[in-house]
Amino acid sequence: MKANPQFYDYWPYDERRPKIQWPNGAKMAFWLAPNIEFYELNPPANPYRAAWPQPYPAIQGYGIRDYGNRVGHIRQMQLLDKYGIRGSISLSTALCEHHPEIIQMCKERNWEFFSHGIYNTRYTYGMTEQREREMIRDSMLTIYQHTGQHCAGYLAPALSHSEQTLDLFAEVGTELFGKESGLWQGKETGGIYTCDLFHDDQPTPIHTRSGKRFVSIPYSLEMNDTIAYVVNKVEPRRYGEMLKQNFDRLYQEGSTSGTVMCIPTHNYQVSCPHRLKAFEEALDYITSHPDVWVTTGREIADYYLQHYYGAAVHNIAEQHAAIGVKA
């Protein structure tokens, strides 16, 4: 039995080298990840997890999520425009066909698209490795066909991660967009980062069976609006305070070595009228600070791979050798 997931090495926060400095001397990389999802009213049954808590038809759950794509998305997009924030979309790629108008609005703003599977009502649980590979490939190709982007990041649909997910995403990215493909653009841009691990406040190197350079980019469940509102029953004002306090601590620590803050949102949660003001106040607070790189998940991953990945891997190996542990 595994003692841990074995996707990454233990690497103490205060002993890391090299120290990170983001572009233009920024202390923090800040990114916002709107989950733009598509939920089916009556999806195929999965024996490991029911899509809806109530018997079919699940009008309440479906309706509020449809509200997000009809109403909430516009509100959130206008707010991000106001504060100069480009979204990094955790995308249910079926949305490309169901709501191409949303995709077009995001393309016009040069938002990033990364994969959140095809539907958020179809889970990785129970899939064979080949079936999961096909699902990942389908989602990456759909993003490319509809946006022209090489999909760089992955968040498993409804967080239904398997032991092979990271390996498969890295491998499919290379197959589709690597040097041997017809879509190579001079650097590795397909399948380079994951949001599925939640274990750190800085990017960290991740093990893949292919040996591909691959990183985890911080994506916070604690700051996720669905976790705050649905799981932890937080009130909007308190959620806004949490975002500011989270920012303050990471901004302070970023003076020593650059940190990452992510706010994962859902257009049917944070964009409800009674919740929007607190969210806007938090964005106003965060973007008013100097030395904050307001960016995307892809840009964080690219910058880290270019400037810090190799030295980080070397530092991990040195630390483990010093205490006689295999890295």
- Two structure tokens written together for 303: 């910058």
Helix, strand, coil percentages for the chain (3-state, nearest 5): 45, 10, 45
Burial, 227: exposed, middle or buried (Cβ in 10 Å; 0-12, 13-18, 19+)?
middle
Supply the DSSP symbol for 103.
Answer: H
**What are 276's two structure tokens?**
């929007």
Instruction: For the chain of 327 residues, list the mean pLDDT of each consecutive stretch of 10.
Output: 79 92 97 97 92 86 96 98 98 97 98 98 96 98 97 97 96 89 75 97 97 97 97 97 98 98 98 98 97 98 97 95 75
Which pLDDT belongs to residue 3?
Answer: 67
User: 154 is written with which tokens?
Assistant: 């992955």
pLDDT for 324: 77
- Give, in degrees to the nearest 5, the angle at Cα 298 between 104 and 165: 100
| Predicted local distance difference test score (pLDDT) of residue 1 | 47
What separation in angstroms does the CA of 224 have from each of 234, 251, 262? 11, 19, 9
Domain architecture of the chain: domains with CATH: 20-322 (3.20.20.370)
Q: Which residues pair with 89 in a beta bridge?
A: 113
Short-list 205, 213, 220, CA closest to 7: 205
User: Residue 15: phi, psi to the nearest 5?
Assistant: -115, 10
DSSP, res 183: T
- State phi, psi for 206 to the nearest 5 degrees: -120, 140
| Whole-prediction pTM | 0.96
- Which ranges in the chain belong to alpha helices (H)? 59-67, 73-82, 95-98, 100-108, 129-147, 165-177, 225-226, 236-253, 273-287, 297-307, 309-322
Q: Two tokens at 119?
A: 């539907």
Under 8 Å between Cβ of 29 and 22: yes
Q: Which pLDDT belongs to residue 36?
A: 98
HSE, CB side, 13 Å, CA atoms: give it for residue 35. Answer: 31
Please tell me the predicted confidence (pLDDT) of residue 2.
Answer: 65
| 132 contacts: CB under 8 Å, gap ≥ 6 | 124, 162, 164, 165, 168
41: which 2 tokens? 């009213």
ω before 57 within 30° of 0 (cis)?
A: yes
Compute the Cα dihedral for 171, 173, 178, 182 and give only its sign: positive
Q: Tokens representing 55? A: 């018997």
Q: Please, where are the H alpha helices in 88-235?
A: 95-98, 100-108, 129-147, 165-177, 225-226
Q: Is 209 exposed, middle or buried (CB count within 10 Å of its CB: 0-12, 13-18, 19+)? A: exposed
| Dist. CA 291–CA 289, nearest whole Å | 7
